[in-house]
Structure 1
């Protein structure tokens, strides 16, 4: 018999893909990796968990991004305030998830430029949430704890208050006593510059 775990059935995934990748000089979401764009890679990983809804927050170059998502089982939301930074996308994605699935008890936030995220890792966030009853479960890499990260509905009001270019990491620090972590050493690999991308391609 499966454990009674409401998170498993009522957890949404929000993929943050609204930024313009200014340091990279082109849309990181569209960079090819293993035969897919990083955006499609993230979407396919999220969809493979079976969790719904999967919400994709778009902003800069959103028309190009939408072309990538035709036929994908996702809910697209446009963040009109994307230039404000990551905080606006967190709010936008959470609001859309709540609108589509009012019963949502938790949200996993993930980004496009951590190409080593797997469906198993995302499900591990849920299992750890259930096992520890902590309202935040974050991925840990090096000295950092960050995305992918699960926030229970207890923290939705705090997430909706985030402003500016502040991501989930601020809340993870603010509520340090309330955080469980899972190891994800490959989480430190992200794509901010052309050399980051070249390094990623050489590793595979």
Structure 2
């Protein structure tokens, strides 16, 4: 499972939901989505590891999800706040004020 450390509002409930879906559906990947865009957390089956090993630099796994959209399941979430990406001190401060 790919989970980014700079997305502190990803919940245990989301992670467990993805794991349960993977256990029952046996998809090649289970990806979170917001507004149709795949986002971490994403759980990949080991069959996808060779593709993941080919990723270089800051490319990310999104290319793999676009290349093989029918090999997995995308879960659309309604609230984008779970996917907030905190990269700067000011973004962190805004998050602290939000919570």
TM range (shorter): 0.7 to 0.9
1:191 and 2:91 matched: no
Alignment of 1:67-106 (within 5 A): none
TM-score, normalised to structure 2, is 0.83
Q: Is the 8 A contact 1:140 1:183 kept in 2?
A: yes
Q: Which runs of 4+ in 1 moved over 6 A?
A: none
Alignment of 1:110-125 (within 5 A): 110-125=3-18
Deviations 1:109-128 (A, max 9, x none): 11111111222211211111
Deviation at residue 163 of structure 1 after TM alignment: 1.3
Q: Give the paired residue count.
A: 97
1:139 and 2:23 matched: no
Structure 1 gaps, min length 5: 1-107
Range that drifts further, 142-151 or 188-197: 188-197
Structure 2 gaps, min length 5: none
Structure 2 CA distance for aligned equivalents of residues 198 and 173 of structure 1: 34
SS in 1 for 2:59: coil
Structure with the bigger RCO (C-alpha within 8 Å, sep 6+) is: 2
Residue 145 to residue 183, structure 1, CA distance change in 2 (3 Å) = same
Q: Is the 8 A contact 1:114 1:189 kept in 2?
A: yes
Aligned counterpart in structure 1 of residue 65 of structure 2, from 172, 178, 197: 172
The match for 1:79 is none
Q: Is the 8 A contact 1:146 1:172 kept in 2?
A: no
Structure 1 CA distance for aligned equivalents of residues 97 and 66 of structure 2: 33
CA root-mean-square deviation: 1.7
